[in-house]
Amino acid sequence: MKRKNVALALSSGGPRGFAYIGAIEELERRGYRIHSVAGSSIGSLVGGVYAAGRLAEFKEWLFALDGWKVFSLMDLSMSKNHFVKGEKIIAAMMEVVPDVDIETLPIAYRAVATDLYTGEEVLFDRGKLFTAIRASISIPSLFRPVPHGLTTLIDGFIANCLPLDRVVREEGDLLVAFDVNDINAERIRETLSREQRALQRDEDFEQRKRAEIRAVWDEAQAMADSTFVERVKFVGANALPLLREWWNYNEEYDEDTAMIYGGSYYNLIDRSFSLMNHRQTELSIALHKPDVVARMPFDAYGDLADYAKAEEISELGRRLMAEALDSYEE
């Protein structure tokens, strides 16, 4: 007989963590009872909302957010070490999910943060729910760090990305993990190989267009009996279409080969964090050996715009958890 009591660990992972909504719903749909949850970063947020019994209300609010509403919740800062203060989003969520003491929650809850100066893991198992969440989601360089007693706290993923060792266990329960920082190295290498070929095509194209434009310029210089205006018209009629074609081609190249150069500043930082998360979660899974592991590729979602795709991401999380449970139950 399959075990039905679940201790659930949720990893960090930015907007990919909205997958936990669908995953939790799938667990409950199949009759599993989640008696404890531990999370890091976005995992602490969704896990905390669930432990407070407000997942349905939070889901309704979250799914209604479009890109503009997400942006409006970012209280931008001119600070040298962060872009967003973080108070506005917390205040908005507290209108949906009341702040309560962690020790009074109906489901055992643990949130992980990191001491900025010592690197030590800081575990929240008591105190105010949103104090724990705000500390745990403090992504370095994005959110303002959180002063807490004699410490300054940043995102929990630095110390413990997938806190399998922090869930409260019951005898005979099922340890379930959801990792949204998985890497399919073979698929990534295929993508990079495709982009490298695109880059080579672009270099060949660039050399050809340079030669064609130079030929137009040389011909204009050789028009000894022509006026300056006639030469300018000649260059405009022959070189400008080549330059336009070059420009349009390079716009396509920038999109097709973004991975080679790491993408935008945000994407580069996010990808670097996700790589660190991946290594941590692989070690945590190998050490603690959860009974069920659901995985999402870390490059499935990650842009700031993806915070407005909660419903889509949640549905993917439901499917991934369903697949993991199917494997366990067969």
- CA–CA distance, 315 with 106 (Å, rounded to integer): 26
Tokens coding 42: 């976005």
The residues that are catalytic are 41, 155
Nearest CA among 96, 101, 125 for reference residue 113: 125
Residues 6+ apart with CB under 8 A from 140: 154, 155, 158
Query: Strand 146-148 and strand 151-155: pairing?
Result: antiparallel
**H helices present in the chain, as ranges:** 19-29, 42-51, 55-63, 67-72, 87-94, 129-136, 185-221, 228-256, 265-288, 310-329
- CA–CA distance, 41 with 20 (Å, rounded to integer): 12
Please answer whether residues 17 and 45 qualify as being in contact, where contact means their C-beta atoms are separated by less than 8 angstroms. Answer: yes
